[in-house]
Amino acid sequence: MRRRWLVLSIVIVAILVWLAWAGARATDQPSFCASCHFMKPFYDNWASSSHARVNCIDCHYEHGFSGYIAGKIRLLSEMLRYWVGAYNVRPHSRVSDQNCLSCHDKKAIEPITVYRKKIPFSHTQHYGVAARGIELTCTTCHSQLVQGDHLAVDESACKICHFTGVARGQSLGNCYSCHGPPKDQILIRGIVFNHSEYLKSGVECLTCHVHVTRGSGDVPREKCFSCHVERFEEYGKTELIHRAHVTVQHFKCSDCHSEISHGKFELAQALSPDCASCHGGRHSAQEQIYIGTGGSGVDPMPDAMFLSGVICAGCHQSRTPVATVATPQACVTCHGPGYDRLMRQWQQSVSQQLSELREQLAQIEQQFSQIQNDHTFSSLYTEAKKNIELIEEDRSLGVHNIHYVSALLRLSAENLARVRAWHEQRAYVSERPWHAGEPFGCARCHVGVELLPLGPTQTASHKVHLKRADCNVCHAVQPAEHGKTFVTAKDCSQCHPPAERMAQLEPQDCLQCHDAQLPARPGKAYFPHETHIALWVRCEACHERVTQMGHLEFLGQGVPKPSHGFCATCHPTERTDTCSKCHTQF
């Protein structure tokens, strides 16, 4: 009898063991997961993904015998919940990082990878280190279920982590950590725009891309009610909450955080004024100058007003829908008294330079057929002409962006000077502007002052004086007396001696202020001062009565213009021998 019971017990145990083994093997199959109706979408997603050859339990169970048993006990618990109707239609599972790394080992995730063909991503900067004080797991980012990819990157996690809790428009890291500047030129309202060149001048992305996010990504208190009925005293303890929900429980960021989106939602208003709704892109030249592009040969140089977000209507103020011309009063409204004079100064300077350059262009165009034979100087001429035409098309005479316009004018003048030197077969000597390389100081605002006359007779030149002295030699630079001229005629006499001192000067004394190497000019004779001074020819030999009167009085009567007869006093025969010795052009 006992033997029968022993055999029967063994058979029953064997059957139970077999049934347990068979049940375990059956529930190991991915198809078993789809037997629950709410799991069918997850099963279909897995079956069509790159993980379709990986069994569900290889990821969802811990490796090893103990992990397998723990997984089966958890499965039995979920089955009981399903049978009694206490299941959750939004199942949550925890996938161990070790399971992921058993296939995707650390060696495979160390190098920089490129996401979406343009975003460089480093796993080593996100996994195994605390990001913003939070220890991330693989499923923190790889949790999105999309067709064809069972564990795609959840981009909402990237946006929530990088944009939540930082200033609006800012991000954790910087724009370059994900987005490099577009390499191709793009067209914005008729303006050809190159990001790479523009960023070289130090302009931040947010200068133009004002709003790059929508939503706050915060966690409202009511979100906690979906899981908790108490423990609200822990709300606000960011590190504790993230450790429990992200590191341990592997919840998705979007389970708690509100939605936050990232994109090019709004460009700077200066690039999209309301005027364009009716007039279209009629002011593209003005916009190009304002944002510091459109010219050739000069790096992008946005105007300070543009960087401050000032739109067109900030200066072009009008109470009617009809557009109005900006007036100097608009400068005074924001900057205070005196700033209106700067606008007039800029326009006077730019107008003078444009007039001179246009005259030079007209002269060069007469010989343009010769220039075309040389590609280098033909391109210099074409570049100068393009920049001059852009400034003229802008019609503000530098007001829209005085520093960019000044740089274009300087380059144009240099290009035309090089062309003239080439045509006249002489070496080109570059003339360094008085304020070159000065990012601050008087030249920051008083652009073009070197071209304006000074003194009561308006015959003297700022340019000559600025090459040898700073502005504060004659003008007050303190805010209380800014721009006030404090020099007197007595002060001027230190550089411009009276008649008694002029009589004592030697030619070398004159060279302390006057440059002896005068450049040749088209249609005029080249006079080598240095040669004559080396022969100890005194200045008064040509500059008559220079030592018999005060220096300022002498300058007031103008520079002498020697004729053939005048030069024949010392060169009686040479004037007819070789014309090209003095004349560079006929």
Length of the chain, in residues? 586
- 15 located within any domain: no
Long-range contacts of 530-539 (CB under 8 A, 24+ apart): 533/507, 533/508, 536/507, 537/507, 538/506, 538/507, 539/505, 539/507, 539/510
Of 40, 70, 91, the domain-final residue: 91
- Cα–Cα dist 161/177, whole Å: 14
pLDDT per residue as tens, the chain (586 positions): 677 777 777 777 777 777 777 777 777 788 888 788 778 888 888 888 888 888 888 888 888 888 888 888 888 888 888 787 777 767 777 888 888 888 887 766 777 888 877 788 888 888 877 878 888 888 888 887 766 677 788 888 888 888 888 776 677 777 777 777 777 777 666 566 777 777 776 677 777 777 788 888 888 888 887 787 776 677 878 888 888 888 888 888 888 888 888 877 666 655 545 555 555 555 678 888 888 888 888 888 888 887 777 777 777 766 555 556 777 777 877 777 778 888 888 888 899 889 999 988 888 877 666 666 666 777 888 899 999 999 998 888 888 898 899 899 989 998 888 888 777 766 676 766 655 545 557 777 777 777 766 655 555 667 777 766 677 778 877 777 777 777 776 777 777 888 888 888 777 777 777 766 555 444 566 677 777 777 767 787 778 788 888 887 777 676 666 677 777 777 776 655 567 667 655 4
- 431 located within any domain: yes
Q: What SS3 class is residue 541? A: helix
- Cα–Cα dist 89/86, whole Å: 10
- 289 located within any domain: yes
Q: Could you tell me the CA-to-CA distances from 9 to 2, 24, 202, 234 in Å, in that order?
A: 10, 22, 84, 55
Q: What SS3 class is residue 405? A: helix
Q: Could you tell me the CA-to-CA distances from 130 to 133, 187, 243, 247, 450 in Å, in that order?
A: 5, 41, 11, 11, 58
Which residues form the domain of 321?
284-451
Say if residue 144 is in the same domain as residue 261: yes
- 123 located within any domain: yes
Say what the pLDDT of residue 361 is.
Answer: 87
Question: Cβ contacts of residue 62 below 8 Å, gap of 6+?
Answer: 68, 70, 71, 96, 98, 99
- 148 located within any domain: yes
- Cα–Cα dist 422/380, whole Å: 11
Say what the pLDDT of residue 80 is.
Answer: 82
Say if residue 379 is in the same domain as residue 418: yes
- 371 located within any domain: yes
Region class of 298: left (phi > 0), else alpha (psi between -120 and 50), else beta = beta
Say if residue 518 is in the same domain as residue 412: no
**Structural contact between residues 409 and 353, judged by C-beta atoms closer than 8 angstroms:** yes
Nearest to 254 by CA among 140, 149, 150, 171: 140
Say what the pLDDT of residue 437 is.
Answer: 47
- 179 located within any domain: no
Structure confidence by residue, pLDDT tens digits, 190-214: 566 777 777 776 677 777 777 788 8
Nearest to 176 by CA among 119, 223, 257, 245: 119
Say what the pLDDT of residue 408 is.
Answer: 93
- Cα–Cα dist 386/396, whole Å: 17
Burial of 245 (0-12, 13-18, 19+ CB in 10 A): middle
Domains in the chain, number: 4
Structure confidence by residue, pLDDT tens digits, 378-426: 788 889 999 999 999 888 888 889 889 989 998 999 888 888 877 776 6
Average pLDDT, the chain: 76
Say if residue 87 is in the same domain as residue 108: no
Say if residue 418 is in the same domain as residue 562: no
Alpha-carbon 107 to chain mean position:
36
What's 67's domain CATH number?
Answer: 1.10.3820.10
- Locate 510 and state its tokens: 């004159």
Nearest to 295 by CA among 387, 381, 378: 387
- 465 located within any domain: no
Say if residue 568 is in the same domain as residue 509: yes
- Cα–Cα dist 380/420, whole Å: 11
**Structural contact between residues 283 and 389, judged by C-beta atoms closer than 8 angstroms:** no
Say if residue 412 is in the same domain as residue 558: no
Say if residue 247 is in the same domain as residue 352: no
- Cα–Cα dist 324/310, whole Å: 16
Say if residue 226 is in the same domain as residue 117: yes
Say what the pLDDT of residue 166 is.
Answer: 79
- Cα–Cα dist 169/181, whole Å: 17
Nearest to 508 by CA among 545, 533, 531: 533
Nearest to 286 by CA among 177, 152, 398: 398
Say if residue 64 is in the same domain as residue 107: no
**Structural contact between residues 114 and 227, judged by C-beta atoms closer than 8 angstroms:** no
pTM for this one?
0.56
Q: Could you tell me the CA-to-CA distances from 240 to 138, 234, 235, 237, 244 in Å, in that order?
A: 19, 8, 9, 6, 6
- Cα–Cα dist 386/380, whole Å: 10
Q: Measured on CA atoms in the order 32, 34, 37, 43, is the torsion positive or negative?
A: positive
Q: What SS3 class is residue 357? A: helix
Say if residue 350 is in the same domain as residue 443: yes
